[in-house]
Structure 1
């Protein structure tokens, strides 16, 4: 199936993004009048450049052309991303992947609007999200068959730490790095401790999105559905990581406010909806018990720490390599500050006995 997705040896220049997108779109939509295309530039992402092209009379039939960020191949497996896109498209969880090209890919449009901090807590929308995550977690990649998959999160974070800079050449940034994060060695030591706690969790390992920030969730009010976009970080992971990461993202990106992180009562209600859907999809006959909900609650909050760590180290790599106008070092500091603020309370939580 992967072989049927065409690849073009075309490199799109981000300074001439519409010209490059037009070259891609005329290959995947040969029946379109390529000269009458309307373009929309998306600015929400902090990893890649993204532009959409469509015919003036049908905005919903848009081709999205994504140009990979500078040196993102260091942290993202593009072949794995392609395979994930194909898996999710086949399961009805994503739009079609049209093609890949030298420095990006083109794919279909998910109709709707990206969520904001208010929408994500709407009772209807949060129920749709819980059920859609459960659907994603019930999928199996063909290369895994019936074997027991292993979580890739620990390998991924270690790879990130290995790639992270030891220092910054600018005096001001180096002062921030040392003052807030101490050193790369200190980050490694902290990860070794956290890894032990997360490996001890009695948690399902499922195929996960791993990046369910608000802008990656689209709500269509006409169909009353949510869809997920951007699968760059899709891999097998601890079930609770996707949920803990999603709860962290209630804080937003541009103006981060972790007071929006869901409280215990909210989480327990959300988790029960998720588990009822998940059990149904995987054929588990037992009903969802209070103990099941409490166990996943503990796992989710511990994995929320793993999420902060993951994106904190990721941002250090971006701070060194990305050309996108975003203060990645400040974002890394923000994630690690929240990690340390929550660490002791979350690590002290105990999974209920079976």
Structure 2
């Protein structure tokens, strides 16, 4: 779970032998042997991200941090999937991958990272849908992503390690199983998905929107991608419908229901991501507060009056189920 914000970078002037990052950057063979400037890109919750500028351009160096193995991150798959996203024309070009010490080098996209307010403003929803379609229509990824499996894996880690678990969390496991059963009634083809489209992972260069950071990427139901965007930006239901209509070309009730339920499952699963990070991460961030915000919204949806209807709508499927005017 990372946010590739480029809006709040701290300048760290550097040259060979002059920067605290030189011991790492010396491993990057695609950097020219000339003076460079380093900026730490803030906003990432899993890695350290450096913008390295030199006379010939700029790159971003992602430095993996300890503990990511608990978060279901496959660094080799991230590299290969990032390459596929670049081939699709929506991801940054991949320049180099060094497995040890966990470095991924990509081209720097000169643009502005979105904020939640940018997405909630509504002006970019059709462009976001177009960027998602471009990724989803690109080369298949080498890995799969399923939030039901991820959530169960995270729960096993939290319970085994004795990490914090929100009150009533286990009480909602039967409802999560009902969502999974409803989806199995109408299985959907999977497509290459980013699966972590926080606002900061959208970069607008003025012409198009790029999608960055493929740590959690994998072939998945496209409704998860869209429902997760709705959840992460805390969009209204009307905005989710607008996003789904832009993506599908028309408004389909069962697709909106599926995206809403995936958005619910994303909150339920990422809650445990926050619990794990609160216990193992060295990053100065209140992961538990972040997790509880996700969990409280998930609990309200599990307990809400729309839950049973959403299950019925998602299980019904069929292209004939169009939203009423």
TM-score by length of 1: 0.74
Q: Which moved more, 1:328-337 or 1:205-214?
A: 328-337
> Tell me, what secondary structure is at the counterpart of 1:41?
strand
Q: CA deviation at 1:239?
A: 1.7
Query: Equivalent residues in 2 for 1:119-198 (5 A)?
Result: 119-122=118-121, 124-141=123-140, 152-166=146-160, 177=165, 180-182=166-168, 186=171, 191-198=176-183
Match of 1:208 in 2: 193
Match of 2:11 in 1: none
Aligned: 1:22 with 2:7: no
Aligned: 1:111 with 2:91: no
Q: Distance in 2 between matches of 1:142 and 1:333?
A: 32
Query: Equivalent residues in 2 for 1:1-354 (5 A)?
Result: 17-25=20-28, 27-30=29-32, 32-33=33-34, 36-55=35-54, 61-74=57-70, 75-101=72-98, 102=100, 103-122=102-121, 124-141=123-140, 152-166=146-160, 177=165, 180-182=166-168, 186=171, 191-221=176-206, 224-251=207-234, 261-264=235-238, 266-276=239-249, 288=250, 290=251, 293-343=252-302, 344=304, 345-349=306-310, 350-351=312-313, 354=318
Q: CA deviation at 1:29?
A: 2.4
Q: Distance in 2 between matches of 1:327 and 1:123?
A: 29
Q: Distance in 1 between matches of 2:20 and 2:254?
A: 48
Q: CA deviation at 1:167?
A: 6.5
Q: Which moved more, 1:132-141 or 1:232-241?
A: 132-141
Q: CA contact under 8 A between 1:161 and 1:188: conserved in structure 2?
A: no
Tell me the alpha carbon deviations over residues 57-83 of structure 1, each in whole angstroms, 9 at most, x when there is no partner: 56xx32111111221023201111111
Report which of the two has the higher share of helix. Answer: 1
The alignment's C-alpha RMSD in Å is 2.6
Tell me the alpha carbon deviations over residues 93-120 of structure 1, each in whole angstroms, 9 at most, x when there is no partner: 2122222231332221122011012322
Q: CA contact under 8 A between 1:47 and 1:69: conserved in structure 2?
A: yes
Q: Which runs of 5+ in 2 are unaligned?
A: 1-18, 319-325
> Tell me, what secondary structure is at the counterpart of 1:29?
coil
Size of the aligned set, in residue pairs, is: 292
Q: CA contact under 8 A between 1:84 and 1:234: conserved in structure 2?
A: yes
Q: Which runs of 5+ in 1 are unaligned?
A: 1-15, 145-149, 252-260, 277-287
Identify if the C-alpha distance between structure 1 residues 162 and 49 changes in structure 2 by more than 3 Å, giving closer, same or farther: same
Q: CA deviation at 1:123?
A: 5.0
Q: Distance in 1 between matches of 2:208 and 2:20?
A: 31
Q: CA contact under 8 A between 2:140 and 2:191: conserved in structure 1?
A: no
Q: CA deviation at 1:197?
A: 3.7
Q: CA deviation at 1:347?
A: 4.2
Tell me the alpha carbon deviations over residues 258-284 of structure 1, each in whole angstroms, 9 at most, x when there is no partner: xxx2223x32222121113xxxxxxxx
TM-score by length of 2: 0.80
Q: CA contact under 8 A between 1:201 and 1:299: conserved in structure 2?
A: no
Q: CA contact under 8 A between 1:21 and 1:51: conserved in structure 2?
A: no
Q: CA deviation at 1:124?
A: 4.6
Q: Distance in 1 between matches of 2:24 and 2:45?
A: 19
> Tell me, what secondary structure is at the counterpart of 2:49?
strand
> Tell me, what secondary structure is at the counterpart of 2:51?
strand
